[in-house]
Chains A and B, each alone.
Chain A
Amino acid sequence: MPLFSEMMADLMWTGFLETLQMTVVSTVIAIIVGVPLGVVLVVTSKNQILENYSVNHILGVIVNILRSIPFIILMVAIIPFTRLVVGTSIGTTAACVPLTIAAIPFLARLVETSIREVDSGVVEAARAMGASPYQIICKVLLPESMPTIIDNITVLIINLIGYSAMAGAVGGGGLGDIAIRYGYQRFDGTIMLITIVILVVMVQIAQVGGDMWSRKLNKK
């Protein structure tokens, strides 16, 4: 028997695509929701352009709750919600739901920190020019913090690659699923090794790509 059959190669490829799907889908949705959420968390806080205690407080509490639930528990706990959204609780698509739910507050907090680092003097200058809150967000806060937001997204992607492996272990498919089923339950060292290598390469690509992009945008 060959060490690594064609069937195995197919299996790995599918696993890779599933991991990729989980990561990409949850990253994209997390960016769409998480970045604005991060912005809102900043601008509604004290002494900021759209200060609003209730909004800030409520969102802050929700984010904190979601952030404090370990992912493995969150995944199980929201199964009814997952069924509601995608019609099933197993498979790659279903795994995207908890991944996204975990990714949104994670990214929102990172983005919040990045935006807070924008020099308050620059915001003040924009206010002095008569900029509206919306203009300040779109033309000052986001462009000025873009390099660090890119870094935040890189961190998110890397975390999601890891989390998707966890999701795989409980029926989500992907490389994590393969590593558990073949590498762990059948003691297949080769498969285990290959999955690890693929995961490492994925993380590397995300890291290097993110770094390059962020550096290109950073004019400081």
Chain B
Amino acid sequence: MIELSHIGKVYGGAARVEALKDISLSVKEGEIYGIIGQSGAGKSTLIRCINMLEAPTSGTVTVNGVELTKLKDKELREECKNIGMIFQHFNLLSSRTVYENVAFPLELQGYSKKEIKERILPILDIVKLSNRLDNYPSQLSGGQKQRVGIARALATNPKVLLCDEATSALDPQTTQSILDLLKDVNKKMGLTIVIITHEMQVVKDICDHVAVIEGGKIIEQGRVVDVFTNPKEQTTREFVGSVISHDLPDEVKAHMDLHDAWDEGTKPVVRLAFMGGSTKEPVIAGVIRRFGIEVTILFGGVDFIQEASFGHLIIALDGEKEQVRKALTYLEELQIRSEVIGYATI
């Protein structure tokens, strides 16, 4: 549905900023794709390239089979009508009521008053604003304003919805309700959604795929479950860590004295990460039984990424060195991710 190929963006002027460097990504139809990164990473620039609010300096943008990067202004404006967008600060017209704001994109396309009414009343119903039609944006809460933004973006029945930090100005509870709404329209209307955010919680809650962007480059991308269970880059780990704690808590770490080498008298400390299905096997019991070693559970927890459960356990293995080694090999062969994070005396 969306195909970005080798996108580069350089902001000119005295202070030359290379905001995007060789970005390629592809978003499938009906998918919710998250792009996460710290402030200044280039997220907004990237999403603005998707609907050509910002023309990339190099590379091509293809949306819904049309290569936007080679269109003329007028043709581009036509294509833009198939791409909805919502914003962090809502960007509603303050001089128009809720109804008039949602009617705005249809008005631009020259629909009649009657057609506009027929199309937008059901949408205003979906976003639960049917009782606020005559209010002005200044009379609404942040969450309600974003609902107007969403209704306005959906009014033209677009194929793609772009969200630039759509929940960053909202409190956690309102964020949740907006995310639920986005998920809902994604399912019901088969809408492809691209979400820009700096909050991993948003990715965890509704995204199927995620790309991590840093310094204008994509440093990691993949299915959300994979990235969460096995983050490769440090930045990704930090993002994942902000919602799921992968590491030992500092309190535990403090009296453990982790070493990098397996010295005499130390025990391997292993992190196990397992997805819903794989937990059926009695992993810990199996290790104890097969290798006759002791297993100490140091820390553990279960998280949910959307519907999938995802657990992690940090254990220390103690016993005859050869048997411990075998146990480690055994763990590696299982359908769970295991990783020795150090050696401790405990």
Task: Give chain A's interface residues, CB within 8 Å of chain B.
Answer: 119, 121-122, 124-132, 135, 139-140, 143-144, 146, 217, 219-220
Residue in A closest to B162 when the chains form the complex, CB atoms: A128
Residues B108 and A144 in contact, CB atoms below 8 Å apart: no
Q: Which of B77-95 contact A (CB under 8 A)?
A: 77-81, 83-85, 87, 89, 91-95
| A contact patch SS | helix
Residues A139 and B108 in contact, CB atoms below 8 Å apart: yes
Residues B108 and A135 in contact, CB atoms below 8 Å apart: yes
Task: Give chain B's interface residues, CB within 8 Å of chain A.
Answer: 51, 53, 76-81, 83-85, 87, 89, 91-96, 104-105, 107-109, 136-138, 152, 156, 162
Residues B136 and A129 in contact, CB atoms below 8 Å apart: no
**Distance of A209 Cα from B162 Cα, bound (Å):** 44
Residues A139 and B107 in contact, CB atoms below 8 Å apart: yes
Shortest CB–CB separation between residue B296 and chain A, in angstroms?
55
Shortest CB–CB separation between residue A19 and chain B, in angstroms?
34
- Chain B residues within 8 Å of A220, by CB: 94, 138
- Chain A residues within 8 Å of B77, by CB: 130-132
Given contacts A127-B53, A131-B108, 16 further A-B contacts (CB under 8 A): A119-B89, A125-B152, A128-B84, A128-B85, A129-B81, A129-B104, A130-B77, A130-B78, A130-B79, A130-B80, A130-B81, A130-B105, A143-B93, A143-B95, A144-B94, A219-B136
- Contact partner of A219 (CB less than 8 A), chosen from B85, B94, B105, B156, is B94
* Given the contacts A128-B80, A128-B83, A131-B77, A121 and B91 also touching, CB distance less than 8 Å: yes
- Chain B residues within 8 Å of A135, by CB: 108
- Chain A residues within 8 Å of B108, by CB: 126, 129-131, 135, 139
- Chain B residues within 8 Å of A219, by CB: 94-95, 136-138
**Distance of A187 Cα from B87 Cα, bound (Å):** 67
Shortest CB–CB separation between residue B119 and chain A, in angstroms?
14
Residues A125 and B80 in contact, CB atoms below 8 Å apart: no
Residues A125 and B81 in contact, CB atoms below 8 Å apart: no
- Chain B residues within 8 Å of A119, by CB: 89, 91, 94
Shortest CB–CB separation between residue A74 and chain B, in angstroms?
36
- Chain B residues within 8 Å of A130, by CB: 76-81, 105, 108-109
- List, sorted by A's number, 5 A–B pairs whose CB atoms are closer than 8 Å: A119-B91, A129-B80, A143-B93, A143-B96, A220-B138
Residue in A closest to B109 when the chains form the complex, CB atoms: A130
* Given the contacts A131-B77, A132-B77, A122 and B91 also touching, CB distance less than 8 Å: yes
**Distance of A126 Cα from B93 Cα, bound (Å):** 10
- Chain B residues within 8 Å of A131, by CB: 77, 108
Residues A122 and B93 in contact, CB atoms below 8 Å apart: yes
**Distance of A160 Cα from B22 Cα, bound (Å):** 58
Shortest CB–CB separation between residue B23 and chain A, in angstroms?
20
Shortest CB–CB separation between residue B160 and chain A, in angstroms?
11
Residues B53 and A129 in contact, CB atoms below 8 Å apart: no
- Chain A residues within 8 Å of B78, by CB: 130
**Distance of A125 Cα from B146 Cα, bound (Å):** 13
Please give me the 8 A-B residue pairs with the lowest Cβ-Cβ distance, nearest first.
A130-B80, A130-B77, A121-B91, A125-B91, A219-B136, A128-B85, A129-B105, A130-B81
**Distance of A135 Cα from B106 Cα, bound (Å):** 12
- Chain B residues within 8 Å of A132, by CB: 77
Shortest CB–CB separation between residue B66 and chain A, in angstroms?
13
* Given the contacts A140-B93, A217-B95, A129 and B156 also touching, CB distance less than 8 Å: yes
**Distance of A218 Cα from B92 Cα, bound (Å):** 14
Residues A128 and B136 in contact, CB atoms below 8 Å apart: no
Interface centre among B81, B94, B95, B138 (most CB of A within 10 A): B95
**Distance of A143 Cα from B136 Cα, bound (Å):** 14
Shortest CB–CB separation between residue B187 and chain A, in angstroms?
24
- Chain A residues within 8 Å of B91, by CB: 119, 121-122, 124-125
Shortest CB–CB separation between residue A123 and chain B, in angstroms?
9
Residues B93 and A128 in contact, CB atoms below 8 Å apart: no
* Given the contacts A129-B104, A130-B78, A122 and B136 also touching, CB distance less than 8 Å: no
- Chain A residues within 8 Å of B95, by CB: 143-144, 146, 217, 219
